[in-house]
Structure 1
């Protein structure tokens, strides 16, 4: 709805104030199709009718508020227009727009034909650097007299890159490159199939956080896929200098023969030196497949239930790798495999023929107990220097409770207080750090 208002009878500031008080909830804007020039004329008439230059500060504020309300302009725009009117009042120059669209568009120096010539030159020279292309364009006109390159002979290097980014240039230089798959011949990309036999291990790394840009230690989790026999290790870094000796030690700590070695696609395990070591031991190396997160799920679950639970999440300096590794070999791995129960899955076939893994309460047993059952079924091959009788006798030397309590006592201070450290704990940690080489 459009309302036409004759405001010529508003000749005093008091009348303007009453008008504003009565129309606080109404905002006036220009009518559809009304240009800025009509608003400018309205502002000039109001200022002249009310003798704006002779008004006081308070009355001027009322007039400005009235103009903002009736013109639809912002406060800053109205202030600028009133200032212009005051400066041009004596010269009787009316308010008018001082800006607008250019009547003549900006001239285009380089045409579509020039873009085609540039594309031809770039394609022929296989996109060499900008200065070289500019020099070739200059030689095409100055040396060889090709008149087509007259405008391009004056092209600057900086504007050359602007032309290369233009839509016309890109439309002529579209090219597609097929995605190249990463072909790494190391390892076989498949999920290992142990078929119920012990000896196919899964391995993964856990980083113990950064602090001020300094890397922490790395925990190595290696667990058998069937018996869940687990060996933990710790290294300063995952480079070959630190990792290869630890991997050899981890494989040597398993009491049975290792036949398969499965990891994710990280370069710390998928490299030529690790492959050479596994080939020497006649161990098959496999790696996880794309979009198959369950290929290494067992090692990932042990990272949470064992490493993070007992070692915490806080940063551990690299100098503690050696005492942590000693703790793993002498105490922690023995407790994991001889006294800590694990849940083993039972495969249940549904009515539709789907195989589902169910974890029942009676399936909880230690890795040693599972190893004994596998030995009775002939599904494990022990090393020559290890016998099955030596493992149960070693486990019977202490109860599960005693083994867990003894595991807590010799833990390094950096692990014992990794989740919540008090002032006294930090003092003990600093003392132990000073004693380390």
Structure 2
């Protein structure tokens, strides 16, 4: 009566047991064992194995299950006795390169997220610091050891602060022993994204579209032009991104009545100003030995944002003219 008053009284679903079951739990276990040994072949091949176990090799325990029909084998594979032991899942191969975990910047610059952007014959390697959004782009003609080793050195050397964490997705261009050896030599921790956690590398993924694709486009670029693109990146594009292109920074996370998360990006500044802000707040020196605040201030104050952006666009036009309309000898 109490359950009826509370509205918790429900009709129990009747499950009728089949008293005329032909194949016993032991027969299902034999089928399960066969599937486990042969990695679950199709029903026709499995039926032939069961038949041979009884008729050819004379194993008495297979006498009953050998007479099962081909179509009924798939029914028995859904039997509770079968599925409790057999799991036909993906066989993972553990590769001891990188640690599967989200990056841990500890509110300090130096935890970079990295990804590649494919533009037909060239690859843009894009690296973004998580705290300051300091961004460095490098271009390589192919994803190979001969190109990746110098490219990573150029990329890491262009960051004004010490890099201590290198986070990538699980792609083969970064999950390999060449990259791992470089990072180990530089004492940089290598982390990789978790499966089904697309936000682990979301920052650099957004920069791929808003920075690389927006400026370099989608058209085919011959791999012979990779060195010229790299020179443009180093001299013009990377300084523009870090000293003259403002970024939005997260300041607050709110939740409404439905527990939906809303992020507020209340700070707008260039990455260099964010770098100085972090320095003032932490009072820690994270710059590399070859970098000083005086050198960075000189670069930041040499041109205004529009003046430097105009120079970048002029150099960009010159670069694209060389790429798409090369001068004939």
Q: TM-score when scaled to structure 2?
A: 0.72
Aligned 8 A contact 1:262 1:288 in 2: yes
Larger Rg: 1
Aligned 8 A contact 1:196 1:379 in 2: no
Q: Deviations over 1:50-81 (max 9, x none)?
A: xxxxxxxxxxxxxxxxxxxxxxxxxxxxxxxx
State the number of aligned residues: 264
Aligned ranges 1:278-317 → 2 under 5 Å: 278-317=183-222
Q: Alignment RMSD, CA only? A: 3.1
State the match for 1:80 in structure 2: none
SS of the residue 2:220 aligns to = coil
State the match for 1:212 in structure 2: none
State the match for 2:228 in structure 1: 323
State the match for 1:191 in structure 2: 102
Corresponding position: 1:119 with 2:49: yes
- Whole-Å separation in 1 of the counterparts to 2:173 and 2:214: 24
Aligned 8 A contact 2:138 2:230 in 1: yes
Aligned 8 A contact 2:228 2:319 in 1: no
Deviation at 1:117, TM superposition (A): 9.8
Aligned 8 A contact 1:206 1:303 in 2: yes
Corresponding position: 1:277 with 2:277: no
State the match for 1:230 in structure 2: 135
Aligned 8 A contact 1:199 1:380 in 2: no
Aligned 8 A contact 1:119 1:173 in 2: no
- Whole-Å separation in 1 of the counterparts to 2:307 and 2:292: 24
State the match for 2:119 in structure 1: 208
Aligned 8 A contact 2:47 2:70 in 1: no
Structure scoring higher RCO (CA < 8 A, sep ≥ 6) equals 2
Q: 1:243 aligns with which of 140, 143, 148?
A: 148
Deviation at 1:338, TM superposition (A): 0.9
Q: Deviations over 1:203-223 (max 9, x none)?
A: 0000113xxxxxx21111001
- Whole-Å separation in 2 of the counterparts to 1:199 and 1:299: 14
State the match for 1:365 in structure 2: 269
- Whole-Å separation in 2 of the counterparts to 1:366 and 1:316: 30
Q: Deviations over 1:237-281 (max 9, x none)?
A: 112221121011100110110010000000100111111110111
- Whole-Å separation in 1 of the counterparts to 2:287 and 2:246: 21
Unaligned runs of 5+ in 2: 1-44, 59-68, 78-85
Q: TM-score when scaled to structure 1?
A: 0.55
State the match for 1:348 in structure 2: 253
Deviation at 1:430, TM superposition (A): 3.7
Aligned 8 A contact 2:113 2:167 in 1: yes
